[in-house]
Amino acid sequence: MFIFRFIRRIFTLIILIILAIPTYAIAKTYYAAHYPVARAADAIVVMGAAQFDGRPGDVFEARLSEAKRIYDLGLAPLIITVGAKAPGDRTTEAASGKAWLVSAGVPSRKIVALENGRDTLVSTKAYVREMKKRELKNVIIATDPYHCRRSMTMANDRGLIATCSPVQFGPNSLRNSTKRYLLRESGAYLAYITLGHFGINISDHLDTNKILDKVVS
């Protein structure tokens, strides 16, 4: 009889752990989105998103607008745009982001375009390398609210001190975000803090034939 009670308690514990881990990821993602802290930093990083022949899409434009807003507040003297080309594109996310910022009044010399990565982790590695070359350590990440937690964690894991300034408008602002986006980002964050330690990254741009991409440093 004792052995059955022991087995039942073990199974109960396992179920509780299975429930607690995703709940933790959702709570961390939700909190970072709703209670952001953006303090003075060395640089602002704009995470890339879709652009169309040099014109930022709605998601990307919202991120660029947020970067411009906090740049104008004097929170950082430099803006870094990141992002490579999508298949068939003539320009990169980083280049189109820089062009948008220049047209919005940010001096070109205050913007660095890193044309690397269409994945959060690859883009993070690129701007971390650039910041370390410049001996910069503090970064504000301009991105979607539910993307904040994962983006900050990746930067912090690579030696930066990261805060996040989430977008105020656009399809992925808090007002317009769906529970599905919260769950997707929570799952991606959970995958990063677990599978990511084994070098396995769930790509931000899944295709039909490949779900898990082995990230080569």
Report the CATH number that the domain containing residue 109 is assigned in CATH: 3.40.50.620
pLDDT digits (tens, 9 = 90+) for 96-135: 999 999 999 999 999 999 998 888 999 999 999 999 999 9
- The verdict on residue 82 lying in a domain is yes
Task: Calculate the average pLDDT of the chain.
Answer: 87
Contact 100, 64 (CB under 8 A): yes
Contact 110, 90 (CB under 8 A): no
- The verdict on residue 195 lying in a domain is no
Band of pLDDT at residue 212, cut at 50, 70 and 90: very low
Position 4 pLDDT exceeds 70: no
pLDDT for the residue 213: 43
Segment 5-13 shows an average pLDDT of: 57
Distance CA 78, CA 67 (A): 10
Domain that holds residue 114: 36-170
Segment 40-46 shows an average pLDDT of: 98
Segment 72-78 shows an average pLDDT of: 98
- The verdict on residue 153 lying in a domain is yes
The model's pTM is 0.86
- The verdict on residue 100 lying in a domain is yes
Contact 46, 142 (CB under 8 A): yes
Position 208 pLDDT exceeds 50: no
- The verdict on residue 189 lying in a domain is no
- The verdict on residue 59 lying in a domain is yes
- From edge to edge, which strands make up the β-sheet containing 138-143? 111-114, 79-82, 43-46, 138-143, 161-166
**CA angle in degrees (0–180, nearest 5) for 187-190-194:** 140
Domains contained in the chain, number:
1
Band of pLDDT at residue 203, cut at 50, 70 and 90: low
